[in-house]
Amino acid sequence: MHTDSTLRGAGSLRLSFVLLLTAMATACGGGGEGDAGQAFQMPPQPVNVAAVVARDIAEWDEFSGRIEAIDSVEIRPRVSGYLKAVHFEEGAEVARGDLLFSIDDREYRAAAASARAQVVRAQTRLDVAKQELARSEKLLAVKAASVEEAEQRRGEVKQAEADVVAARAAQTQADLNVEFTRITAPIDGRVGAALIRPGNLLAAGQSMLTTLVSIDPVYVHFSGDERMYLKYQDLAREGLRPSSRETRNPVRVGLSNEEGFPHQGEMVFVDNTIDAATGSIEAKALLDNADRRFTPGLFARVQLIGSAKHPALLIHDQAVLTDQNRKYVFVVGEGNTAQRKDVELGGKVDGLRIVTAGLEATDRVVVNGMKKIFFPGAPLQPVDVPMDAPNTIVAAPEGAAPPQG
C-alpha cells in the first residue's frame, strides 16, 4: 500500500512537469492553436564584426635593450695641480672646446718661460759654433789651422743643433702643460656632475673630474639568443633577408612609457662571437636623438625586421577566445549565425595578430559581443567595424543592446 502511494506521487510530479512545459511552449508561441508546436528561439544578438585583414607583411622580432651614448668620456686632468675653478653648469649640454675646469697654472707658466729662455740660449750657442766653424774652415784653406781643429768645430755645431732641438721640445712640452691647465670638452654632449671642487689637489691622469656623453645620435644596445641568430643566418643564405652585418636593416624602438614602437632606427653593429656563457650575441642600432628623447641607460623595447614580405591573415587579439589549450574565434556563418573556428596564431604586426591556420580571407570575425554568444549557431545581428578598432560604437539595430565583451 505504501509503494502504490509513492508511485502515484511520482506520476503526479511527472504530469505537473509536462503540463508546465506545455504551458511555457504555449505562452512563447502566442497561445494560438497553430503556434502550439513552435519552440522558443533566442533573438539575434547585435555584435561587432570585422573582415579578416589579408595583406603582405614583414614580421618583426622583439628584444629588450638599453639606450647607450655613442661616445662616453671620463674627464681627467693631464697635469697635476690645484683645481682653480669649475666653468660649467652640471648636467648641461656643452660643445667641443668649451672650458670645463681650470688648474692653477702659475708654476707651468714659469716653466714655459724658462723653456723659452733655454731655446734662446741654445740658439745662441749654435750661432757661435757656426761662426767658429766658418773661421776654422778659412784658416784650414790657407794651412793656418789643423784638420783636427776644423773637425772639432763641426762637432760643436752638431751638438749645438741638437741642443736647440731639445730646447724647443722642452718649450713645446712646457707650453702644452700650460694649455693642459685648461680642461676643455673633447666632444659635443651632456656633462655630468663636478666630482671635485676647487681647492683640491689633482693627480695627472688619475683624478676623475666628471663624465661627458654624446647626445645625438645614440645607440640602442640589445642581444639576441642563438636560435634567433641562426634564423637570421638561414634567411640571409636563402636571400630572403639581408644580414645586419652587411645591411643597415630597419629597427623600431619604444620606451617603457610609450605604446607600440614609434621610433625608427637602423642596425650598425653585430658582434663577431656568441657569448658561450649566455648563448647570446650583442647588437647595436643607431637612433636619431635630435629631440633629446633618449637618455643613456633608458630601457627600450626593440623590434628588428625578422622576415621577408609574405601574405598573411590578421585579426585583433580581442576576438580570440580560449578553450583549455585551444584558441578559437566566432565568425559570421550562413544565415548570420555564430560559427566557431579553431585557429593557430603567430606574432603581431602593427597591432594585429597573425593567423597561421583556421581562417579564410573572406571570413567576418566577431570582435566585440562574444559574451552574448552562448553556443555555436546562435543567431547574430552583425555590425561591421574596422578590424583595428573593434570597440567602435555603431548605431545598434532598433531595440537591441550594444555589443559588450
Q: What is the pLDDT of residues 65-106, one digit of tens each?
A: 999 999 999 999 999 999 999 999 999 999 999 999 999 999
Between the alpha carbon of residue 62 and those of residues 178, 240, 252, 258, the distances in Å are: 53, 19, 9, 15
Q: How far apart are CA 161 and CA 130, in angstroms?
A: 10
Whether 382 contacts 310, CB under 8 Å:
no
Tell me, yes or no, if the pTM score tops 0.85: no
What would the CATH number be for the domain defined by 60-70+214-306?
Answer: 2.40.30.170
pLDDT, one tens digit per residue, over 213-249 is: 999 999 999 999 999 999 999 999 988 888 999 899 9
| 105-178 maps to CATH 1.10.287 | yes
In this prediction, residue 8 carries a pLDDT of: 43
Distance of CA 21 to the CA centre of its chain: 66
For 174-225, what is each residue's pLDDT tens digit? 999 999 999 999 999 999 999 999 999 999 999 999 999 999 999 999 999 9
With beta carbons less than 8 A apart as the criterion, state whether 381 and 338 touch: no
Q: Which residues of 307-316 are buried (b: 16+ CB within 10 A; e: fewer)?
A: beeeebbbbb
Cα atoms in the Cβ-side hemisphere of radius 13 Å centred on 122:
20
One fold for 60-70+214-306 and 105-178: no
User: Are the C-beta atoms of 248 and 179 separated by less than 8 Å?
Assistant: no
Residues paired with residue 352 on neighbouring β-strands, in sequence order: 349
Residue 55 neighbours by CB under 8 Å, 6+ apart: 311, 312, 314
In one-letter notation, the amino acid at residue 257 is N
Per-residue pLDDT tens over the stretch 1-33? 444 444 344 444 344 443 434 444 444 444 444
User: Are 267 and 249 a contacting pair, CB within 8 Å?
Assistant: yes
**Whole-number Å distance between alpha carbons of 46 and 41:** 15
Structural domain boundaries of the chain?
Answer: 45-57+311-384, 60-70+214-306, 77-104+181-208, 105-178
Residue position matching grid coordinates 623590434: 303
Reported as a single tens digit per residue, the pLDDT across 27-40 is: 444 444 444 444 45
HSE-up (13 A, CA, CB side) for residue 384? 5
CA-to-CA dists, residue 103 to 84, 182, 183, 293, angstroms: 5, 6, 8, 35
The CATH code that applies to domain 45-57+311-384 is 2.40.420.20
Q: Please write the tens of the pLDDT for every residue from 50-67.
A: 899 998 888 888 999 999
Which residues share a beta bridge with 17?
none
CATH 3.30.460.10 fits 77-104+181-208, yes or no: no
CA 295 to chain centre: 11
